[in-house]
Amino acid sequence: MMSNNLIVLLSGKRKTGKDYISEKLLKAIGEDKCAIVRISEPIKSQYAKEHNLDLSELMSPNKYKEEYRKQMIIWSDQVRSQDPSYFCKIACSEAVPKPIWIVSDIRRKTDIKWFKATYGGQIRTVRISATEQTRVNRGFVFTKGVDDVTSECDLDDYTEWDLCVANDSSEECDCVINKILSLINIV
């Protein structure tokens, strides 16, 4: 990436709308200036490779993916115990160079630490929330081994967000997009 560029780190619990907001931001900023970076991509591709699985199935939001979610969390934690920023580094090295990156799935304090240590003042952090009822309406089902472990809970007590936003409705979502755009000085 060139200097003076920005990286927006998005965090939020399952079904708060991280992907949804990332796609809306991408459209609002424009694909010429912006790319979505997913830390889950190298996790899935490396997991698939090591376990001889079909990556396209693993990437799709279906039952197959859900079955492997727990196993992938355990496997990726083992990798992280050797190198906490392993997947962040791969995701960034494989990302398309653009002035603005939106990292759609920040889950750990060590992720934020690595991004800040590597990209310094280019980082903006955003926490997305939604009520439990909203998340349930969007299909959230509490799953042991997924929703009660570090990957889902590590950032619950993080307080240094540049911006905290609620995404419970389409009206709120427009407001969320505008707030993020003004955080990165695009409006």
Ligand X SMILES: Nc1ncnc2c1ncn2[C@@H]1O[C@H](COP(=O)(O)OP(=O)(O)OP(=O)(O)O)[C@@H](O)[C@H]1O
Piece of the chain touching ligand X by CB under 6 A; list 76-84, 115-123, 164-172, 179-187: 164-172
Shortest Cβ 153–ligand X spacing (Å): 13
Cβ within 8 Å of residue 19, ≥6 positions away: 104
For position 162 contacting ligand X by CB under 6 A, the verdict is no
Is 13 annotated among the ligand-binding residues?
yes
100-103 and 163-166: which strand pairing? unpaired
Residue entry with tokens 């570090």: 150
Place of tokens 């949804």: 20
Q: How far is the CB of 109 from ligand X (least distance, A)?
A: 18
Candidate residues 11, 46, 125, 167; the one interacting with ligand X per rule CB under 6 A: 167
In Å, what is the CA distance from 113 to each residue of 20, 116, 118, 155? Answer: 25, 5, 8, 12
Told to check if 15 binds ligand X by CB under 6 A, we report yes
CB of 49 to ligand X, least distance (A): 22
Please provide residue 71's backbone torsions phi and psi, each rounded to the nearest 5 degrees: -65, -40
The separation between the first and the last C-alpha atoms of the chain, rounded to the nearest angstrom, is: 22
Residues 99-158 that bind ligand X (CB under 6 A): 138
The one-letter code for the residue type at 120 is: G
Is the separation of the CB atoms in 11 and 155 below 8 Å?
A: yes
Q: Is 64 a residue that touches ligand X (CB under 6 A)?
A: no
Minimum distance from residue 2 beta carbon to ligand X (Å): 28
Binder among 6, 7, 12, 36 for ligand X (CB under 6 A): 12
- In this chain, which stretch among 42-50, 77-85, 153-161, 167-175 interacts with ligand X, using CB under 6 A? 167-175
Kindly tell me which of 117 and 141 has the beta carbon lying closer to ligand X: 141
What angle (nearest 5°) sits at the alpha carbon of residue 162, between those of residues 20 and 130?
40
Q: Return residues touching ligand X (CB under 6 A).
A: 12, 14-20, 138, 167, 169-170, 173
Binding-site residues for substrate, in ranges, read 167
